A and B are shown apart, each in its own frame.
Chain A
Amino acid sequence: MKFDRRIIYLFVVIAIALPIIFPLNLKVKTTKEVLGVYDPIEKLPEGSKVLLVYDYEPSSGPELDPMASAVLSHCFEKKLKVVGMCMWINTGAAIAEKNMTQVAKMYNKVNGTDYVNLGYKSGGYAVVLGMGDNIRETYPMDYHRRKLDELPVMKGINQLRDFDYIVVIHDDSSVFSWINYGYERYPDRVRIGTGCTAVMATGNYPPLQAKQITGIIGGLKGASEYEKLIDYKRKHGKSGPATAGMDSQSVIHMFIILLIVLGNIMYFTVDKKKRNND
């Protein structure tokens, strides 16, 4: 049986677009994995230092940008000092700059005083090892070519262990560099939470189970949970981008389940000989 797959594409577009135009406002239930990132940040006292790692490409932006914005909003609400950086994907530097500037504007935060973007540094795990020894040697300057010693936000931050919490948002396996060369080096001081694309989520559960990371924000669903935890809708007067996307996500999942059921029915109802010929 022949079926033009472009018809399915059309239905997918309709299934995604309709909930965007007519929001369903479906409820989002929080999970302990996302609370594992939210709670450590929530418990930090004012002025604590958080390292936010933007190790992802623009192609993962629809999933990870809302996540990064939610975590950063939470940090700014708690009046924490945030240091952004990337070390695995070079496009992360520009993503970090855009994301931090946008969120900082909403909370009237000053670049260099309340937050800073260190930019990209090549070297992969060597960057983590270098930051473990001396951040200023690894990153002499920030994204805007300012010396770190001149930035108030960097006061008291000399090594990786000076950060009170690290959130690694990634679309590859960079969190394992942070675990192996950060957490394992300073297990009593370094605490890591991760946010990742849905594709990567299952691979992040073993370190969670081994208590090497405190929690996982997995994909758009995880981001929507985080938006709920920080009460995004009440504070901004509208649903966050991840929560809004979850309506479409739910509809499209129902559509995919329907397609799987229909596909199986068609498969078993077609004559076996004809099926083999096809």
Chain B
Amino acid sequence: MALIGNETIGIWIAAILTLAIYSFLYKDNPAYKFAEHIFVGMTAGYTLCIAYYNVLQPNLINELSEHNYWVLIPAFLGLLMFSRFFSNIAWISRIPISFVIGVGAGISIPYSVQGSLMKQSSSTITPLITGNMSDIWHIFTFADISNILILLGVVSVLFYFFFSIEQNKGLKYLSKIGIIYLMIFFGASFGYTVMGRVSLVIGRIRFLLVDWLGPFIGLS
């Protein structure tokens, strides 16, 4: 019974805060500000707890209690980051930052080159005609057409961003094809973005109608 009560209270709080946030669509008001401040405060509190229980406690406190003092080195580097708050010693924070950048770049560059650059390039380099050469109606398959379009897209978009030489004559038309490819990409991205944003509104309105008002208006 207590669980049902807690759940109901939770739904009511969520519903009121949702309405308070959406009230901004009419105009800025104290209810919106109130909900916004609660959100910021909750997020900061949650992140602090997560940082303590998932990072500091297992990686530092627990390790020190087991007499593993090596972790004091990264802990010290982490503390150096706080020097940014004091202008006269702010430069010290560059030491941990350079360490993070150095390690990060060292790890990520080989994997990124392999996983993104090489793999994407190799998947672009595919046989353009795989159909039956002896049958005029089956020389091209749908996969071939797709491969040709991908090749054309890659080359034309690369040429569009190639500014080292003047884009005239043939190159001009090639870069225009690149613009068409980019526009199709932007259009698809925008369509997906609209769908995504609308999905979020649907989720909230569904919550208000089904979870909050549902028991009163017979929706489930």
Chain A interface residues (CB < 8 Å from chain B): 6, 9, 12-13, 16-17, 20-21, 59-63, 90-91, 93, 119-122, 125-126, 129, 140-141, 176, 179-181, 183-185, 197-199, 201-202, 206-207, 209-212, 218-221, 238, 241, 244-245, 248-249, 252-253, 256
Q: Does B210 contact A (CB under 8 A)?
A: yes
Say yes or no: A12 contacts B206, CB within 8 Å: no
Contacts A17-B209, A90-B54, A183-B115; A202 near B192 (Cβ below 8 A): yes
Say yes or no: A220 contacts B202, CB within 8 Å: yes
Give the chain B neighbours of A248 by CB distance below 8 A.
198, 202, 205-206
Contacts A62-B200, A211-B123, A249-B195; A202 near B112 (Cβ below 8 A): no
Say yes or no: B219 contacts A20, CB within 8 Å: yes
A59 vs chain B, min Cβ distance (A): 7
Q: How far is the CA of A241 from the CA of B115 in the complex (A)?
A: 35
Contacts A16-B205, A219-B192; A252 near B198 (Cβ below 8 A): yes
Most chain-A CB neighbours within 10 Å: which of B114, B115, B150, B189? B115
Q: Does B185 contact A (CB under 8 A)?
A: yes
B197 vs chain A, min Cβ distance (A): 8
Say yes or no: A199 contacts B123, CB within 8 Å: no
Q: How far is the CA of A13 from the CA of B111 in the complex (A)?
A: 46
Chain A interface mostly: helix
Shortest beta-carbon contacts, A-B, top 6: A62-B203, A198-B196, A180-B115, A210-B123, A220-B199, A184-B115
Partner of B54, one of A120, A184, A206, A256: A120
Which residues of B, 177-220, contact A by the 8 Å Cβ criterion? 185, 188-189, 192-206, 209-210, 219-220
Number of interface residues of B (CB under 8 A): 43
Say yes or no: A63 contacts B200, CB within 8 Å: yes
Give the chain A neighbours of B197 by CB distance below 8 A.
199
Q: Does B73 contact A (CB under 8 A)?
A: no
Which residues of B, 76-131, contact A by the 8 Å Cβ criterion? 107-108, 111-112, 114-116, 119-120, 122-123
Chain B interface residues (CB < 8 Å from chain A): 25-26, 46-47, 50-51, 54-55, 58, 107-108, 111-112, 114-116, 119-120, 122-123, 150, 185, 188-189, 192-206, 209-210, 219-220
Say yes or no: A241 contacts B206, CB within 8 Å: yes
Q: Which of chain B's residues has its CB closest to A128's CB?
A: B111
Say yes or no: A201 contacts B107, CB within 8 Å: no
Q: What's the A-B contact tally at a CB cutoff of 8 Å? A: 130
Contacts A59-B200, A62-B200; A209 near B26 (Cβ below 8 A): no
Contacts A16-B201, A21-B209, A63-B196; A120 near B50 (Cβ below 8 A): yes
Give the chain B neighbours of A17 by CB distance below 8 A.
205, 209
Q: How far is the CA of A257 from the CA of B192 in the complex (A)?
A: 14
Q: How far is the CA of A241 from the CA of B51 in the complex (A)?
A: 33
Say yes or no: B194 contacts A256, CB within 8 Å: yes
Say yes or no: A90 contacts B203, CB within 8 Å: no
A248 vs chain B, min Cβ distance (A): 5
A90 vs chain B, min Cβ distance (A): 4
Give the chain B neighbours of A245 by CB distance below 8 A.
199, 202-203, 206
Partner of B150, one of A141, A183, A209, A238: A209
Give the chain B neighbours of A93 by CB distance below 8 A.
50, 54
A118 vs chain B, min Cβ distance (A): 11
Partner of B193, one of A16, A199, A211: A199
Q: How far is the CA of A63 from the CA of B51 in the complex (A)?
A: 27
A133 vs chain B, min Cβ distance (A): 13
B10 vs chain A, min Cβ distance (A): 12
Give the chain B neighbours of A253 by CB distance below 8 A.
194-195, 198
